C-alpha cells in the first residue's frame, strides 16, 4: 500500500520531541508499504523551497514553515494554515492508496480531505488532543466566531474520515460524543520503545558521575514542553517543599517552551534554582534513554483540567519503556493505570506538602523503586510495546483502505484499565 502521511511536526530521533510518526512509519516501511511523509521544516537557512530526505526508508518532504513553542496563538494559527496550504500542493502530487493525517493541529484536515477527494482515496484521521476543546479550556481560543468555526472544522474533519485513530480512551469518547460511529474508532496510544530504552545501566551511572550535582541523591526527571498547559511551575513549588522537609531528592527539568524563563525565575525567587532543581535545554530524542536510565523516577506534569486528562504523554510511555516509576500530578486514564498497576506515584488532589512527603518516602525506598520499575516495564511490554501498537495501526489502515473501517474498534479497542474503555 502507498500511504501519504501528513504530520506538521514530524521528528526523527536526531531531533527533540516525540517520534511517534517516525516509529510507526518506519515499521510500515519494514512491512513493505511505501510511506511519503509530508511535514514542516521548522529550522532556518533553507529558503522557501520544499526539500526531500530519506529517513529509514520513509520519503520525507520538508516544507519550510517556521514554528516554535514561543509563538503566540495568532502566530501559531498562521503557521497552521500556511502549512495546510503548502502541504496540500505537495501531497496532491503524490500517488497514494490512502492518506493518513495526524493532528494537532486539526487544520491538517484541510489538505487531507483535499487530497483524498482529488485522488478518490480514503482518509484516516488521527486525533492527539480533543480540539477545539483544549484551546478553549486553556483560554487560547476565546472569540465566539473563532470557536464556532473551530467546532465546524472538527465536525467537518470527522465527517470526511473513513476511520479515526484516537490516542487515548478519553479522546475516543470525545469523538463519539460528536456523533462519529464508535466501531470506526481505534485507540492506539503513544507507545513504549522498549528496545531503545533498554540501555546499559552503566550509562546511567556514568551520566550521574559526570553531573556531580546529582551526587547520590534520588533524581526526578521531567523531559518535555514548558508550555502553559504543562504547568511545569508545579515542579518548582514541589522543589521548595522538598527543601523545607529537608529531602535529598533533586529534580531535573529538560526542554523548552514559552514558560521556561518565568519558571526558572520562580525557582530563583523560591531559592531552589540549582540547589535541588536544575534546568536543561531540549535534547534529541535519541539521548533521552540515557537520561531516563539515570533517573530514579520520571515526572509527568499537566494543568489538571478535565480536557487534559485524556492526553497521551510521550514521557509517560518513555518512562514505562525505561522501567522507571512514574510520578504524575493529574487525573484521567493514566492516573488510573498508576493506581491499578502500582508502578508509580499519583500526586493528584494532594497538597504540595503531602506530595513532597510522598515523594521523599517512596523515592528513598529501594524495595518499592525496584518493584514499581518492574511493574512499569511489564505494563510497557504487555500493553504499550510500540511493535504491537504498530501492528494494530497497520491493520486499521488496511481495513480502511479495503472498505472495512467498521473493524477499527475491534482491532484496537483501547481497554487498559478498569476505569476506561
pLDDT digits (tens, 9 = 90+) for 215-241: 899 999 999 999 888 999 999 999 999
Mean pLDDT of 330-357: 96
Q: Which three cell numbers stand for residue 137?
A: 479550556
Distance CA 316, CA 332 (A): 13
Do residues 57 and 83 touch, judged by C-beta distance below 8 A?
no
* 391 pLDDT above the threshold of 90: yes
pLDDT category of residue 256 using cuts at 50, 70 and 90: very high
CATH topology of domain 2-191+385-411: Rossmann fold (3.40.50)
Q: Which three cell numbers stand for residue 84?
A: 495546510
Instruction: Show me where the domains of the chain are located.
Output: 2-191+385-411, 194-383
Q: Which CATH class is domain 194-383?
A: alpha beta
* 264 pLDDT above the threshold of 70: yes
Mean pLDDT of 384-411: 98
pLDDT number for residue 274 = 96
pLDDT category of residue 176 using cuts at 50, 70 and 90: very high
pLDDT digits (tens, 9 = 90+) for 182-209: 999 999 999 999 999 987 777 888 898 8
Average pLDDT value for the chain = 93
Percent of the chain at pLDDT exceeding 90: 81
pLDDT number for residue 76 = 83
Query: Which candidate, 73, 104, 231, places its Cα nearest to that of 171?
Result: 104
pLDDT number for residue 70 = 73
3-state SS record for the chain = CEEEEECCCCCCCCCCCCCHHHHHHHHHHHCCCEEEEEEEECCCCCCCCCEEEEECCEEEEEEECCCCCCCCHHHHHHHHHHHHHHHHHHHCCCCCCEEEEEECCHHHHHHHHHHHHHHCCCEEEEECCCCCHHHHHCCCCCCHHHHHHHHHHHHHHHHCCCEEEECCHHHHHHHHHCCCCHHHEEECCCCECHHHHCCCHHHHHHHHHHCCCCCCCCEEEEECCCCHHHCCHHHHHHHHHHHHCCCCCEEEEECCCCCHHHHHHHHHHCCCECCCEEEECCCCHHHHHHHHHHCCEEEECCCCCHHHCCCCCHHHHHHHHCCCCEEECCCCHHHHHHHHHCCEEECCCCCHHHHHHHHHHHCCCHHHHHHHHHHHHHHHHHHCEHHHHHHHHHHHHHHHHCCCHHHHHHHCCCCCECCEC
Task: Find the length of the chain.
Answer: 421
pLDDT number for residue 347 = 97
pLDDT digits (tens, 9 = 90+) for 42-56: 877 667 789 999 999
pLDDT number for residue 419 = 44
pLDDT number for residue 45 = 65
pLDDT number for residue 421 = 35
pLDDT digits (tens, 9 = 90+) for 44-102: 766 778 999 999 999 999 999 988 777 777 788 889 999 999 999 999 999 999 999 99
Residue 304 vs residue 83, higher pLDDT = 83
* 418 pLDDT above the threshold of 80: no
Calculate the CA 43 to chain-centre distance.
21
Query: Which candidate, 362, 361, 358, 360, places its Cα nearest to that of 349?
Result: 358
Q: CA torsion angle for 388, 392, 398, 402 (degrees, to 10)?
A: 150
pLDDT category of residue 335 using cuts at 50, 70 and 90: very high
pLDDT number for residue 143 = 85
* 130 pLDDT above the threshold of 90: no
Query: Same CATH topology for 2-191+385-411 and 194-383?
Result: yes
pLDDT number for residue 46 = 63
Query: Which candidate, 245, 284, 227, 303, places its Cα nearest to that of 68?
Result: 227
Amino acid at each position: 500500500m502507498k500511504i501519504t502521511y501528513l504530520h506538521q511536526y514530524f521528528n526523527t530521533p536526531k531531533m527533540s520531541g516525540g517520534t511517534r510518526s517516525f516509529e510507526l512509519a518506519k515499521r510500515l516501511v519494514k512491512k513493505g508499504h511505501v510511506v511519503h511523509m509530508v511535514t514542516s521544516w521548522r529550522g532556518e537557512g533553507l529558503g522557501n523551497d520544499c526539500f526531500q530526505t530519506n529517513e529509514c526508508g520513509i520519503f520525507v518532504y520538508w516544507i519550510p514553515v517556521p514554528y516554535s513553542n514561543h509563538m503566540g496563538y495568532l502566530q501559531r494559527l498562521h503557521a497552521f494554515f500556511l502549512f495546510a496550504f503548502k502541504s496540500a500542493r505537495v501531497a496532491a502530487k503524490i500517488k497514494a492508496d490512502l492518506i493518513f493525517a495526524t493532528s494537532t493541529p486539526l487544520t491538517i484536515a484541510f489538505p487531507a480531505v483535499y487530497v483524498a477527494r482529488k485522488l478518490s482515496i480514503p482518509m484516516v484521521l488521527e486525533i492527539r488532543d480533543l480540539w477545539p476543546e483544549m484551546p478553549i479550556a486553556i483560554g487560547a481560543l476565546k472569540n465566539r466566531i473563532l470557536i464556532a468555526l473551530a467546532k465546524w472544522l472538527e465536525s467537518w474533519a470527522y465527517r470526511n474520515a473513513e476511520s479515526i485513530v484516537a490516542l487515548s480512551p478519553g479522546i475516543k469518547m470525545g469523538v463519539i460524543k460528536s456523533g462519529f460511529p464508535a466501531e470506526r474508532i481505534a485507540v492506539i496510544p503513544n507507545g513504549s520503545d522498549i528496545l531503545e530504552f533498554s540501555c546499559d545501566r552503566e550509562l546511567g551511572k556514568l551520566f550521574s558521575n559526570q553531573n556531580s550535582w546529582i551526587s547520590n541523591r534520588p533524581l526526578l526527571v521531567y523531559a518535555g514542553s514548558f508550555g502553559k498547559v504543562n504547568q511545569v511551575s508545579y515542579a518548582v513549588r514541589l522543589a521548595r517543599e522538598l527543601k523545607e522537609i529537608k529531602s535529598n531528592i533533586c529534580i531535573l527539568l529538560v526542554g523548552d517552551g514559552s514558560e521556561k524563563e518565568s519558571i526558572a525565575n520562580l525557582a530563583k525567587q523560591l531559592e531552589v534554582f540549582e540547589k535541588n532543581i536544575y534546568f536543561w535545554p531540549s535534547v534529541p530524542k535519541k539521548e533521552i534513554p540515557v537520561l531516563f536510565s539515570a533517573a530514579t523516577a520520571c515526572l509527568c506534569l499537566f494543568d489538571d483540567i478535565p480536557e487534559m486528562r485524556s492526553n497521551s504523554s510521550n514521557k509517560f510511555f518513555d518512562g514505562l519503556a525505561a522501567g522507571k516509576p512514574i510520578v504524575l500530578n493529574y487525573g484521567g486514564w493514566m492516573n488510573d493505570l498508576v493506581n491499578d498497576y502500582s508502578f508509580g506515584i499519583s500526586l493528584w488532589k494532594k497538597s504540595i506538602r503531602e506530595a513532597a512527603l510522598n515523594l521523599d518516602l517512596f523515592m528513598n525506598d529501594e524495595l518499592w523503586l525496584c518493584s514499581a520499575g518492574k511493574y512499569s516495564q511489564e505494563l510497557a511490554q504487555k500493553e504499550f510495546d510500540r511493535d504491537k501498537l504498530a501492528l494494530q495501526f497497520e491493520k486499521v489502515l488496511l481495513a480502511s483502505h479495503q472498505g472495512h473501517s467498521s473493524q477499527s474498534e475491534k482491532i484496537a479497542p483501547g481497554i487498559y484499565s478498569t476505569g476506561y474503555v
